[in-house]
Structure 1
Amino acid sequence: MSDCIFYQDGDYFVPTRYAEGPWAPQWQHGSPPAALLCYGVEQHRSHDMHLARLTIDLFRAVPMTPLKLETDVIRDGKRIKAVAAVLFDEQGTEICRASSLFFGKTPLDEVPERFAPAHCDIPYPGSFEPLPFVNTHSTQVMAGLNGIMEMQRVEGVMGSGSGTCWTRLPINVISGVENTPNLRAAIASDYGNGIGQVHVDQYTGFINADINLYLHREPVGEWVCVEAKGIAEATGVGLVESRLYDQLGAFGKVVQTTMANQRRPKP
């Protein structure tokens, strides 16, 4: 199963090597569980409703082991639908959860230009050699999701606290299931903290404990641009804000709360 991030085995979603994250080989990147939770809430989507918000709480590191997905419709209104989703490990421990809001669409005759979302002035990927995500302190291509994700770096990144990158996932999140526009947004959502990563020294980076994805429209095309900016306080608490673009312009935003993560070598 090398053409996907997860394959389904009974009630469980089994991660492939492409789910692996940058911190340790036994833990997943934040984007695969985010996409899996997005898939879960989308199963309850009405055809005329729009996913406006997806909030994900990452209670603990997500293991590279099978995960069970459970969902629950909290509110099923005509204009607002609220859906929750939870991922459990094989022992029944809750690993992470999501809450989502779907809005009914209200067609408008016109939106004044001053209120319209920003156009995308960032060049759209054309003929280029996609850049794999590399380790901040070396040129070694990273394993897991960062190794398969296609990237075009526009500016910044590499631990500078800000950056802009086009991203594209060339495989399906779930085996046999085509990636929806919202799944593509969810996969890109956790890259804000990587692209806007704050490295205060060679041993200290920042990890995020949540993902707050806001969508004012669905993205089009396979490429998603992440324009991220990270900040940090002396308390070790930080924040990353990312604007999401596609070929038509801005379509959403991601906010992530972050905390310092020190990895000093053992004496």
Structure 2
Amino acid sequence: MTTDRAGAFFRSSGDALHPQPEARGYWSASQIHGRLFGGLAARAVEHEHMEEGLVPARLTLDLFRGAPMAPVTVSTYRVRDGRRIRVVDVRIDADGEQVARAQVVLLRAGGKAVGEVWSGPSWVPPSADALGPPHLPATSGKFVPPFDVWRIDPGDGPSREDDAGPRRAVLRDTRPLVSGEPLTPLVRVGLAADYASPLANSGTHGLEFINADFTLRLSRLPGEESIGMESAGHMASDGIAVGQATLFDSLGAFGTCGVSALANVR
């Protein structure tokens, strides 16, 4: 169980969540990291709309603008509540302005397909404990992830940051999203989802695309603290890119994440 020993990303006060220094983003130290909004959307739905038998099958997050390091509020609205499907909209505001929205689809578990269906090759990611110290950026002054990450090439050795080939990574969050709250499997995968963009969209000059959204699709929740992720495709044209990644734990693949991104033209 993750504790506050590492320092939380947010501290709660009334209806607001106050970002801590660890919440600063990759692109700007004055903005909140976009990955945290996936975790906040997952947390809100879990607190207000989950029940036994429902599985979060899809979480789509739209990132509207950079969010300042200011108090954040999260509100939800149940759009549909049927016998086998529940749909929830999530609104995320920072400093009083909307910065992101999400939609989460919850499906009722039960039943099994009679026949066989093709699925892609599986990968069992190494456990975090077997991987040694987490990898850090090779160049000083770069953003240091406030979570554990190990980048692995397809042969299961360490990967280069400037490699244009397929990529794998193992991710593990070590600090709470909100002070005093343990990280649940849904919040963990909500936080991990944003990493599909650097995994799929990085190349020989590093990460040159800023993702505008992600769509996380899950057949089940992860069974461990660490999550394996494998790039499953990248395509770009005229400054617009789409990327895809597959998510794994020790039982095999359990989800995918797709992102849309814009070239970071400075």
AA aligned to 2:134 is L
Shift of 1:100: 0.8
Shift of 1:233: 2.9
Q: How many residues align?
A: 255
For 1:163 and 1:139, the matched residues in 2 are separated by 22
Aligned to 2:156: none
Greater shift, 23-32 or 247-256, is seen at 23-32
Aligned to 1:194: 198
AA aligned to 1:205 is E
The reply to whether residue 48 of structure 1 matches residue 53 of structure 2 is yes
For 2:188 and 2:10, the matched residues in 1 are separated by 15
Shift of 1:29: 1.8
For 1:10 and 1:118, the matched residues in 2 are separated by 47
What percent identity do the matched residue pairs reach? 28
Q: 1:59 aligns with which of 58, 64, 78?
A: 64
- Runs of 4+ deviating beyond 6 Å: none
> Contact between 1:193 and 1:230, CA under 8 Å: does it hold in 2?
no
**Distance change in 2, residues 1:22/1:230 (3 Å):** farther
What's the CA shift string for 1:188-212, capped at 9, x where partnerless?
Answer: 100111222334758x810000010
What's the CA shift string for 1:150-204, capped at 9, x where partnerless?
Answer: 12221146254541110100111111111111111111100111222334758x8
Shift of 1:26: 0.8
1:1-267 map, 5 Å = 3-43=7-47, 44-90=49-95, 92-108=96-112, 114-115=117-118, 119-134=122-137, 138-140=139-141, 142-143=143-144, 146=145, 148-155=146-153, 156=159, 158-161=161-164, 162-199=166-203, 205-229=208-232, 231-263=234-266
What's the CA shift string for 1:7-64, capped at 9, x where partnerless?
Answer: 1111111111221111110112221111001111122112210000000000111222
> Contact between 1:154 and 1:164, CA under 8 Å: does it hold in 2?
yes
The RMSD of aligned alpha carbons is 2.3
Under a length normalisation based on structure 1, what TM-score does the superposition of the two structures give?
0.87
Structure 2: gaps (5+ residues): 154-158
Shift of 1:228: 1.8
Shift of 1:132: 3.7
For 2:46 and 2:238, the matched residues in 1 are separated by 37
For 1:232 and 1:118, the matched residues in 2 are separated by 21
> Contact between 2:124 and 2:250, CA under 8 Å: does it hold in 1?
no
**Distance change in 2, residues 1:50/1:89 (3 Å):** same
